[in-house]
Amino acid sequence: MAGSVFLLLLAGTLLCGLLFHTVSQNEAGDRTRPRRPNFIIILADDIGWGDLGANQQAGQRSSQTPHLDLMAQQGMRLTDFHSPASTCSPSRAALLTGRHGLRNGVTHNFAVGSVGGLPLSETTLAEILHQGGYYTAMIGKWHLGHNGPYSPTNRGFDYYLGIPYSNDMGCTDLPGYDLPSCPPCYPGPQILHNSCYTKVALPLFENRTIVEQPLDLWSLTQRYTSTALNVIHTARERGQPFLLYVALAHMHVPLSPPSYAPHPSEGGVYAASLREMDGLVGAIKNASDASDKENTLIWFTGDNGPWEQKCQYAGSVGPFLGKWQTSRGGGSAKRTTWEGGHRVPTVSYWPGRVPANSTSSALLSGLDIFPTLLSLAGVNPPSDRRFDGIDATDVLLHGKETGNEFLFHPNSGAAGKYGDLQTIRLGRHKAFYITGAAEACGGSTGRQELHDPPMIFDLSGDKGEETPLDPTTEEYKEVNERVRRWREALLYDIATDQSVSTADYATDKSAAPCCDPRHTACRCHTLAAVA
């Protein structure tokens, strides 16, 4: 009996040893495999191409973005990068789906009382990466639907902290700087003041719960920063690849820089807000560097250009002034398809992978973020739909200038029908089928004008879009023919796409996010702690 027991114990010991050896070998093998990269997308709101210090020419105004300038010095500055649309919701929907608004259904902004959001038939970048084993978190402005299945945690994000739409779409107790200035959330009957939202206070969500209403704009940056650092630290502890999408409130009005001191040399409120935004970006970069910088791609960009009608509270478009339009009245930035409306400051940073101190003039778009990150993660996109972006891996990692051959800029609230593709970029040329109808600082809008044949500019020698090509020249005729073919091909592709979605833009007062409808402006009296 004793001999039998001994043999059983010996066999068990040998089996355990074999299993341990096998597991150790597997773990060693796993350690030799390339780790999947982490991704941090930082999306600024209403930021101008000229706001980035690294984009300014020597001798121009002093830089307010030292952290971003350092990131550009240590990474790559993308000088011909464009937002997918020139206003909030369509730009964000395109970034997260890799599809134009005419495909994903989001062609204009959702409202406080919107019932729907990004169509549920659409698949987001977060959903795909989550299914591929990534931890996914979002901080900041969502603006793709806040009710039920449309909220971020139902669209692929494991965690969310932020505002469901723009930070001017609700009252606060201490309003920030805006034009016109907006009143606080009054304790008594609400009075509609110009374009200000006064009936529902601005809410702060954590996951699906309102934790503060109205939120405190002046401490929001600190809250976002601490949450972002916590996400990076938590993901590091998990040993799991992560996607962190930070959709900033900066530089959208109302501006609320806590350190603002009204001194002319500091550049005013906007410059102070720009410095605050830059500090947040720097904190995220430093935390990433301390955690896993060799395996983390940070991609900073903007959702559209500056909101020109906000005057001193709007950013700089740099040399992209849209002079043809401004000389006739009207704006040439946000909501328009002039360069100032969609050419945005963009920096990519990944030590050891993205070449340091490099600049690329490849023609790229926020539509390209979706396919590029999936490619780097080794995850395939859904095969049941068509996409509009390209994989920009060779541009980011190998210094190639293989960007888009063409880009389409959708109508975004100025001239024309929402979402229509009536402005086309083809190489150095840009064609407009429609212009006008955007408000400038001072209130002028300029009349809407149709152009048939299109008005074409050569951006290589006319960044300010001042003088169109003469339609009688051979250059114009050749470009016009190519533009016509590309436009017809894309519109046919969309028309025959069986995966096209339709967004529900219906509104209802009951759909507005409200912490406690018994109180004025839905004010919360008991606040949950935010992690």
Instruction: For residues 232 and 319, give the distance between their C-alpha atoms in angstroms, rounded to a whole number.
Output: 37
Structural domain for 150, as ranges: 36-404+507-511
Q: Summarize the confidence of residues 168-188 as an average pLDDT.
A: 89
Task: Indicate whether 363 belongs to any domain.
Answer: yes
Does the active-site annotation cover 193?
no
Q: 56-70, 256-270, 307-321, 430-444: which has the minimum mean pLDDT? A: 256-270
Does the active-site annotation cover 143?
yes
Task: Indicate whether 485 belongs to any domain.
Answer: no
Looking up tokens 């609230």 gives 413
Task: Indicate whether 7 belongs to any domain.
Answer: no
pLDDT tens column, 366-395: 999 999 999 999 999 999 999 999 999 999
Nearest of 531, 424, 416 to residue 483 by alpha carbon: 424
Nearest of 212, 214, 171 to residue 195 by alpha carbon: 171
Whether residue 204 has pLDDT greater than 70 = yes
Task: Indicate whether 163 belongs to any domain.
Answer: yes
* Catalytic-labelled residue, pool 143, 146, 252, 429: 143
Task: Indicate whether 267 belongs to any domain.
Answer: yes
What pLDDT does 519 receive? 87
Q: 174-188, 322-336, 457-471: which has the minimum mean pLDDT? A: 174-188
What pLDDT does 139 receive? 98
Q: Which amino acid is at 458?
A: D
Q: How many structural domains comprise the chain?
A: 1
Q: 25-39, 152-166, 217-231: which has the minimum mean pLDDT? A: 25-39
Whether residue 56 has pLDDT greater than 60 = yes
Task: Let me know: does 337 contact 432? Beta carbons within 8 Å.
Answer: yes
Instruction: For residues 426 and 434, give the distance between their C-alpha atoms in angstroms, rounded to a whole number.
Output: 16
pLDDT tens column, 351-369: 999 999 999 999 999 999 9
Which helix (H) or strand (E) covers residue 486, if one does?
helix 474-495
Where is pLDDT greater, at 23 or 134?
134
Task: Indicate whether 151 belongs to any domain.
Answer: yes
Whether residue 14 has pLDDT greater than 60 = no
> DSSP assignment, residue 504?
-
pLDDT tens column, 106-138: 999 999 999 999 999 999 999 999 999 999 999
What pLDDT does 529 receive? 39
Q: What's the token pair of residue 112?
A: 């406080």
Task: Indicate whether 524 belongs to any domain.
Answer: no
CATH code at position 53: 3.40.720.10
In this structure, what are the phi and psi dihedrals at residue 357, rounded to the nearest 5 degrees? Answer: 50, 45
Where is pLDDT greater, at 493 or 263?
493
What pLDDT does 260 receive? 61
Task: Indicate whether 425 belongs to any domain.
Answer: no
* Catalytic-labelled residue, pool 67, 82, 88, 146: 88
pTM of the shown model: 0.92
pLDDT tens column, 279-289: 999 999 999 99
